[in-house]
Structure formats: structure tokens, C-alpha cells
A and B are shown apart, each in its own frame.
Chain A
Amino acid sequence: MSARERIAGQVANYVDERTGSAKWLKKTLTKVFPDHWSFMLGEVVLYSFIILLLSGTFLTFWFDPSMREVEYEGSYEPLSGLKMSAAYASTLHISFDVRGGLLMRQIHHWAALIFMAAMVAHLMRVFFTGAFRKPREFNWIIGVGLLTLGIVEGFLGYSLPDDLLSGTGIRIAEAIIQALPVVGSYLAYFVFGGAFPGEVFIQRIYTVHILLLPGIFLALITVHLMLVWYQKHTQYPGPGRTEKNVVGYPLMPVYMAKAGGFFFIVFGITAFLGAVASINPIWLYGPYTPGQISAGSQPDWYMGWLDGLVRMAPPLETHAFGHTISWNILIPGLIIPGIVFTGMALYPFIESWMTGDKREHHLLDRPRNAPNRTALGAMSITFMLVALINGGNDLIATHFALSINQIMWGTRIGIIVLPPLAFIITKRICLSLQRADRDLVLHGRETGRLVMLPHGEFIEVHEPLTPEKAYLITQHEQLAALEPVAADANGVRNPKGARAKLQARMSRAHQEQIAKPTSKEMLEIEDHH
């Protein structure tokens, strides 16, 4: 036994005598993780979160969340002598008078944008592959919760410097709070400690941004990861992969090295962006005052869809009995997002109700094999994209020499017309792909080689699929649509008749598939050859 092994043994013994960790560690170090690039999107989110914690902590050592008025005496000349809040002045200080300060600010903000982008990409991957199905519904709901909190956290974060752009965003947030019926004006005065903008808002959101929300994030992320750990990660279908196994690489050494290495890569790429691309140049925006505004004011991208919805809203307000309800704010700002996110959170349950499928699933779906779900996803993405585009309509107008009025009308109509169109087109595409798969299995791959037969006929040579490929494209399950049961064997009517009928209708639409080749067809083909 070498000296190194002896020492390692002593350390391991010391720890095990106090924690009994050997058994758990032995199981953990050999745990198997499936390997696919699309499984790394969640890792990007996790690592970005860690980067945010690290860079954010650095920033807190210099940031002053106070709104008290100070006169700027730092090194950025064009703001010299101007009155501004201490929060803004301390952000300028970090940017120009702390070495590495601007780099850290930029890394922090780029990490936030990537955090949200990767989260959305990860959500799309989970959705389109059906990874949210039993037993992972709770994890899906936690994920939607993390997404919502992420949007809030990001908004609060970039509002901390109290600059003109983010201050405008806060003004709009205050208007949403104020618009709430009955309690709006009270809630707004409580949140802002009085009239807008008040003197306490920045330090209050500071607490939420560095303490409350990160704490909730840590807790939710821990549960999210523990569930993934305990339930084992899903895997793509393929040869050797079943519902009852996990195929991949062990934690030690391969996964540790790859996942650990990926953390450094994510950090490195984020740092690269922080080095070469300017982000949130608050010194150009100027300090916040409610009397100023810049053309082309937008929130960060993950709130752009909200901005777009608010912009395209019709000017609806009701005035009755001395009270006002601003539908033009409540509908696009709260009600529609609420419906969208609630629908998103409940989707696993909606789908299992439509399919009647209550079994565990650990093999992922190829998106084409779940045409209705894929089409619903495409529809939601289209909705969000149209809203997002409208959020930047003034920039699009200036860049492409268009009129904001035309763009607005285009998106108003587009947001109603385009999502259903996207649904139909996507569903048809999925079904076509299924048809193509079916042809592939039955007839083999078209090689493009033409052969002339002795009797003069030209045929294209088809190469039969490898067993692995043939297995991959036929392994999926095709559940039959639910049949409504109008009455049982004794003629007693189904008390849930109407609901069952609805469920059956939706199930029929949801389960629309191109049937896999039957055994008979396969045999016929074999005979052919």
C-alpha cells in the first residue's frame, strides 16, 4: 500500500466512523447518468446559478442599496457633479473605480440572461420529450416555479442600480400594483413606502434579491436535483434502453469530469461574454428620475413578452360607481400570464387526463411521436415569440424602416392567428415525419442509386435499416384513444358522462398518430425481399 493510499484510507475511515457514509458513497459514485447534449441544458442553468451567487456576492461588497441623494464624485466625467441615488453612484463606483468591478457586473448580468435562456431551453427539452410525465410531475411544477421566480429575480436585480431604464420598468411595475382592484393603491404605498418612487424601494428589493429569493432558489433547486437523483434521469429511447434501466456513464470518474468540466466551461464562456460585450451600461442611461425617458425602453428579454402583451392590449378600462378597473393593464399584465403559467404548470395532469395513461415513464418521446403535444408546444412558443417581437417593435421599426403602428396591428392579429396556425402546421409535420419513419421501416433507406433491371425497369436501391435504427423508430408506444363509456354492462348511465365524452374527444385528437407498421405488413415486406 502506497503512502497516498494509506492516508486516503485514514481520512475515509475518520469520516465513515462519524457519518456512516461509505455505503452511500459507494452507491453514489457508481450511479449511472445518461449522456446527451440536451440533458446539459439544465446543467447550464445550475452552473449559471452558481456563477450568479459568486459574482453577486462580490458585487454586494461595494453596492449601496440606499436611495438617498448624493453628488457624484467618481471618475466618470460626464456624470460628475450630478445628483443621483447612492445606489446608482455605488454602481458607477463598482464599474469605474473598483478593478474588475465592471467585469464582475457584466459577468453577473450575462450569467442572468443565460440562466433564463437555458432555463427556457431546458423547459422546452423537457416538454417536447415528455419528461414531465409520471413520476416527474412535481419536478415539472418546481421547474415552472423556478422559471417564474427567475423572472422576478432578474427584474429586481437589474433594477438595483436605479438607472433611467430600470427605473422606468419599476414605474410600470408600480402601475400594475396600483391597478389591482380594491387593494392596489394601498399595496403600492406599502411596497414603495409612500408615493412613487419613494426612498426605500431599492433597499427592500435588495433584501429580496440577495436573501429571500436566492434562499428559495437554493431550496427549490435542491429538491429539483434530489428528485432527478432519486428518480434517476430519463433517457432517450434506443437499442439497449428500456423503461427499466438507465444506460450511461458512472458518476466517478466520467460524469464528474464531464459535468465538473462543463461548469468551468460555462463559467469561462460567461466570463468571455463579460469581457468582450458591454451589457447594462448604466452610465449611459443616467440616474432615474420620473420626468425622463429614453426612446426604445425595454425590459430584459425574459420580460419582453410581458411588455409586448401590454403594448398590444386594447385600451379597455371600466369606470363605474366611482371606481376604475384597468383591464388594459390587468389582462396582459396579470391575467394572461397567470393563465399561461398555470396551464404550463398543470400540463402533465392535463395530458395524463387526455391519454388516460397513469404509468411511469422513463423513456423519452421523440417529439414526432407525440404530435399533439409537440404542436401545443409550438403553439405556445409562437404566442410568446409574437409577444416578444411586439415588445421590441420600436427597435424593429427603426432598424427595418417599418412603422410601429403597422407592427402593432400585425402582432395584434398575429397573436390570435399565428399560434393556431403553428399548431396545425406542426402537427401535420409530425404526422408526416411518422409517415416517413413508417416508410423507412417498411422499405428501407433510399440510397439514390439507380439500377436497371434486366427487363428494363429502373428501380432505386433501398438499403434495409440497421436493427438499431429500426428498433429506434418502432419502439414507441401508440396508445389507443380513450373510449367514452356511456353506460356499464347493466345499462347504468355513466354519472361523469359529459366529462368522459369530453375526455374521449380530446383523447382522440391527442392520440392522432400514423400507425406503426403491423406485423402483417412487416412480414409482407420480408417476403418481398
Chain B
Amino acid sequence: MSQELAPLSDPGLPEHVHRKADVDPRAAKKAERQVGILFLFSVLGTLLFIYSYVGIDESIFIFLPVLGNTNAHQLFLGLGLAMALFFIGMAAVHWAKTLMPDHEVIDIRKEQRSRDDDRSEFVSTVKERAAEAGLGRRPFIKRTMGLALGLVGLSPILLLRDLGPLPENELNETNWKAGTRLVTDPGDRPIKPSDLEVGGVAQVQPAFPEGKERHLDDIGKDSVLLIRIRPEEFNLDAERLSWTYEGIIAFSKICSHMGCAVALYEQTTKHLLCPCHQSTFDVTRAAKVIFGPAARPLPQLAITVDSEGYLVAKAPFNEAVGPSFWERDSK
């Protein structure tokens, strides 16, 4: 190993091979013509672009293979622009390749490191001038300067306080209260148990009182999925069973993992699938997680019927809906 080869001697840059355009004036003329034609293609492209912009109606669709029925205005506008730009580039590159000199040129690299005398001059300069600043001899200045700069850096951070309100208890609350009616989403129609067949599913929101508008913020925590299976298929403890009504069970639709809408219900397996990260929840066991990264089951909403026979919430959710957070206190 130590008899390592001294590298074979560098044969130096290979002989320059002339291009056709270098030796044959006709070939050079041909290359020139080619460059010119490429530039003219670009001109054609710009003309196509202008024509498409003003001349092609936006409602025309033409059929092309692969693209299918496509909007002519948009297509030719884009193709015109593409042509206009592309061929300028092709012309410039072809010009460089065929006509500009292609002799390889050598330049010298200097070491990145500065010369020794420059370095020592730099060092002595810095030392002298640092001594002139006098920080070393004046610790009081140093400390108070550090204090001032550090504190002033805090001020902008304080300014950011009003970016938003404090969460307080909002993450633990939804608009579901005891007696809130379940209404269809969209449509806002109240639901009777007979409206939902076995194997059926309904997207549901809490009924909002007259005049109060539902915002996306509300949908982001109130969304509920209503599912009906045969009562004997439930595998729940007595308490959770009492939160169902005649085979109908309600879960928060907001995934306990990262908040996507878990609306994918498989009637045959009684599983809910969240399409974001494939967390799978078992409806018969109170949305217990059976696959995927979710760590908690979906919160279950206790439901019953009111005096008019419509489905209502029995109580608010017993835990926070949606993704976990530091202050979340429940299993």
C-alpha cells in the first residue's frame, strides 16, 4: 500500500479538435443560418402568443391526443410563450457551440488562504483597534452594553403578543350542549332516528340558534359523523352504550391525530378511515384506533331524542376534540 503509485503523469489537455464550422466557411455559414432560423422560430412563438391572446376565443376547446379536450386559448398562449423563450435559448446555445471559440482556457487558482503577511497585519490591526475600543479594560461598559442590546431585542417579541388571543379553554369546548339538535350538513335539517337506515351515515352539525352564523371555526370543531348499525353489533361498556340511541352512534369527525375530517365509513367492516394518514377507527368499539398513527379514539358524542323525536346531544363532548395539545388532560 505504501508503494502507492505516483499518479501517472498528467498528459495535459487533449489536442483541440476543430469543428466543421472552424475549418469550412460553408459549414460556418450553415451554422449561422441555423442560429438565425432558431431565432426566427422564437419570433413565430411570440406572434402565436399575441395572436392567441387577442384572436382565440376563450370558449373554444380542441381535441388533442394525450391532452384530451383542451382549451385552445390557454394552450396556444402557453405554447407561443414557450416557443418564444425556448428558441432564443436554443439559438444562443447553438451559436456558442458551433461558432464561438471552443478552445478550453486555463486559469490559475490561488489558494483561498491569504498571504502570511496579510494575515499577521490583519491580526495586529484587530488587536490594536480592539484595544482602542477598550472593551477589555472596561467591563462595566461591556456588561451594560450586553444588557441593553439583549433587552432591546425582546421588545419586538413583545409586540407579537397581539397576533392572537390566548387559547384559554377554547380547545376543550365546542358548540355542542345538552339538548343541541343534530342537523344535516349541508341543509340544516333536524334528523329523526327513522331518517337514518342501518348501514347509513350522515354528516352532522349542531343546530345554531336563529341569527347566529356558523363559521369555519365552528365547523372545525363541531363536525360530527352519525352512523347507524344494528344495536347488537356494538361492543361497548354500559356507559358508552348509553350514549348511543337504537344503534345510532355519533363521533367527532375531527381526527384525533392531526385534525383532518374522518368521514370515510366502511359499511361492511364498520371502520372509519382517515384519508390523511390512514388511521382506522372501529365504530363498534367507540372508534378505538385499530391501525395507523392516531393515538386516541375519536371522541363520542352522547345522543338521545328530544320530545319531538329529533336526535339531540345528551351532553357536551366529555373530552377535547381534534388533535392533542400539551394541556389536554384525558386518556
Q: Are A293's CB and B109's CB within 8 A?
A: no
From A189, A258, A288, A317, B324 is in contact (CB under 8 Å) with: A317
Report if B83 contacts A (CB, 8 A): yes
Q: Are A185's CB and B326's CB within 8 A?
A: yes
Q: Are A99's CB and B53's CB within 8 A?
A: yes
Q: Are A253's CB and B100's CB within 8 A?
A: yes
Report if A515 contacts B (CB, 8 A): yes
Residue of B4, B81, B93 with most chain A CB atoms under a 10 A cut-off: B81
Q: How far is the CA of A474 from the CA of B13 in the complex (A)?
A: 16
Q: Tell me whether A245 and B163 are in contact in the complex, defined as CB-CB below 8 angstroms, given that A180-B326, A262-B89, A310-B277 are known contacts.
A: no
- Give A252-279 as 1s and 0s: 1 = Cβ < 8 Å from B's Cβ atoms: 0110011011111111110110111000
Q: Are B323's CB and A323's CB within 8 A?
A: no
From A189, A247, A322, A516, B5 is in contact (CB under 8 Å) with: A516
Q: Are A196's CB and B163's CB within 8 A?
A: no
Which of B314-329 touch A at CB < 8 Å? 322-329
Q: How far is the CA of A175 from the CA of B291 in the complex (A)?
A: 20
Report if B210 contacts A (CB, 8 A): no
Q: How far is the CA of A254 from the CA of B101 in the complex (A)?
A: 7
- In the complex, chain B residues whose CB is within 8 Å of the CB of A32: 105-107
Report if A171 contacts B (CB, 8 A): yes
Q: How far is the CA of A172 from the CA of B331 in the complex (A)?
A: 22
A interface residue numbers (CB < 8 A to B): 30-32, 99-100, 102-103, 106-107, 135, 168, 171-172, 174-176, 178-186, 188-198, 231-232, 239-240, 242-250, 253-254, 257-258, 260-269, 271-272, 274-276, 288-297, 307, 310-317, 319, 322-326, 328-329, 332, 360, 362, 393-394, 404-405, 408, 467-468, 470-471, 474-475, 478, 480, 515-520, 522
Q: How far is the CA of A272 from the CA of B75 in the complex (A)?
A: 9
Q: How far is the CA of A443 from the CA of B330 in the complex (A)?
A: 74
Q: How far is the CA of A478 from the CA of B2 in the complex (A)?
A: 11
Q: Are A244's CB and B109's CB within 8 A?
A: yes
Going nearest first, the 3 A-B pairs with the smallest beta carbon separation are A275-B78, A268-B86, A261-B92
Closest to A260 in B: B92
Q: Are B90's CB and A275's CB within 8 A?
A: no
- A-B contacts, 6 of them at CB < 8 A, read A99-B53, A168-B260, A185-B171, A257-B93, A291-B203, A408-B291
Q: How far is the CA of A314 from the CA of B323 in the complex (A)?
A: 16
Q: Which of B23-31, B148-156, B219-227, B298-306 contacts A (4 or more CB under 8 A)?
A: B219-227
A120 to chain B, nearest CB (A): 23
From A266, A274, A362, A408, B78 is in contact (CB under 8 Å) with: A274
Q: How far is the CA of A295 from the CA of B274 in the complex (A)?
A: 9
B269 to chain A, nearest CB (A): 12
Tell me the number of A-to-B contacts counted with CB atoms below 8 Å. Answer: 330
From A245, A268, A325, B85 is in contact (CB under 8 Å) with: A268
Residue of A310, A328, A480, A517 with most chain B CB atoms under a 10 A cut-off: A328
Q: Are A324's CB and B324's CB within 8 A?
A: yes
Closest to A32 in B: B107
Q: Tell me whether A257 and B82 are in contact in the complex, defined as CB-CB below 8 angstroms, given that A242-B10, A468-B14 are known contacts.
A: no
A526 to chain B, nearest CB (A): 12
Q: Are B88's CB and A192's CB within 8 A?
A: no
B65 to chain A, nearest CB (A): 12
B188 to chain A, nearest CB (A): 13
Q: How far is the CA of A176 from the CA of B258 in the complex (A)?
A: 8
Interface size class on chain B is: 35 or more
A182 to chain B, nearest CB (A): 6
Report if B294 contacts A (CB, 8 A): yes
Supplied contacts A99-B73, A103-B78, A516-B5, 15 more A-B pairs, CB within 8 Å: A175-B322, A176-B258, A189-B166, A195-B171, A247-B13, A257-B96, A264-B86, A264-B92, A265-B93, A268-B85, A271-B82, A291-B261, A323-B326, A360-B111, A394-B278
- In the complex, chain B residues whose CB is within 8 Å of the CB of A239: 10-14
Q: How far is the CA of A272 from the CA of B45 in the complex (A)?
A: 12
Q: Are A329's CB and B258's CB within 8 A?
A: yes
B64 to chain A, nearest CB (A): 9
- In the complex, chain B residues whose CB is within 8 Å of the CB of A268: 82-89
Q: Tell me whether A175 and B323 are in contact in the complex, defined as CB-CB below 8 angstroms, given that A191-B164, A240-B10, A313-B293 are known contacts.
A: yes
Q: Are A310's CB and B86's CB within 8 A?
A: no
- In the complex, chain B residues whose CB is within 8 Å of the CB of A183: 326
- In the complex, chain A residues whose CB is within 8 Å of the CB of B58: 99
Report if B185 contacts A (CB, 8 A): yes
Q: How far is the CA of A269 from the CA of B90 in the complex (A)?
A: 11
- In the complex, chain A residues whose CB is within 8 Å of the CB of B75: 275-276
Q: How far is the CA of A296 from the CA of B324 in the complex (A)?
A: 24
Closest to A180 in B: B326
Report if B201 contacts A (CB, 8 A): no
From B6, B9, B89, A265 is in contact (CB under 8 Å) with: B89
Q: How far is the CA of A34 from the CA of B91 in the complex (A)?
A: 21
B interface residue numbers (CB < 8 A to A): 1, 3-14, 53, 58, 67, 73-75, 77-79, 81-93, 95-97, 100-102, 104-109, 111-112, 160, 163-167, 170-171, 185, 203, 205, 216-217, 219-221, 223, 253-254, 257-264, 274-279, 289, 291-296, 322-331
- In the complex, chain A residues whose CB is within 8 Å of the CB of B67: 276
Q: How far is the CA of A153 from the CA of B316 in the complex (A)?
A: 40
- In the complex, chain B residues whose CB is within 8 Å of the CB of A106: 78
Q: Tell me what chain B mostly uses at the interface: helix, strand, loop, or mixed.
A: loop
Closest to A99 in B: B53
Q: Are B82's CB and A269's CB within 8 A?
A: yes
- In the complex, chain B residues whose CB is within 8 Å of the CB of A193: 163-165
- In the complex, chain A residues whose CB is within 8 Å of the CB of B165: 189, 193-194
Q: Are A195's CB and B221's CB within 8 A?
A: yes
Residue of A197, A240, A326, A404 with most chain B CB atoms under a 10 A cut-off: A326
Residue of A240, A263, A269 with most chain B CB atoms under a 10 A cut-off: A240
Q: Are A319's CB and B331's CB within 8 A?
A: yes
Q: Are B7's CB and A475's CB within 8 A?
A: yes
Q: Tell me whether A271 and B78 are in contact in the complex, defined as CB-CB below 8 angstroms, given that A264-B92, A360-B111 are known contacts.
A: yes
B171 to chain A, nearest CB (A): 6
Q: How far is the CA of A290 from the CA of B261 in the complex (A)?
A: 7
Q: Are A103's CB and B74's CB within 8 A?
A: yes
Closest to A310 in B: B277
Q: Are A297's CB and B276's CB within 8 A?
A: yes
Closest to A404 in B: B278
Q: Are A171's CB and B324's CB within 8 A?
A: no
Q: How far is the CA of A242 from the CA of B95 in the complex (A)?
A: 30
Q: Are A250's CB and B78's CB within 8 A?
A: no
- In the complex, chain B residues whose CB is within 8 Å of the CB of A297: 260, 275-276
Q: How far is the CA of A296 from the CA of B277 in the complex (A)?
A: 10
Q: Are B104's CB and A249's CB within 8 A?
A: yes
Q: How far is the CA of A253 from the CA of B5 in the complex (A)?
A: 41
From B11, B102, B253, B322, A254 is in contact (CB under 8 Å) with: B102
Q: Tell me whether A289 and B219 are in contact in the complex, defined as CB-CB below 8 angstroms, given that A265-B93, A328-B293 are known contacts.
A: yes
Q: Are A515's CB and B4's CB within 8 A?
A: yes
Closest to A255 in B: B96
Q: How far is the CA of A135 from the CA of B112 in the complex (A)?
A: 8
Q: How far is the CA of A296 from the CA of B164 in the complex (A)?
A: 33
Residue of A183, A185, A294, A522 with most chain B CB atoms under a 10 A cut-off: A185
Closest to B291 in A: A405
- In the complex, chain B residues whose CB is within 8 Å of the CB of A322: 327, 329
Q: How far is the CA of A193 from the CA of B161 in the complex (A)?
A: 10
Q: Are A326's CB and B324's CB within 8 A?
A: yes
Q: How far is the CA of A474 from the CA of B92 in the complex (A)?
A: 37
B263 to chain A, nearest CB (A): 6
Q: Are B327's CB and A185's CB within 8 A?
A: yes
- In the complex, chain B residues whose CB is within 8 Å of the CB of A231: 112
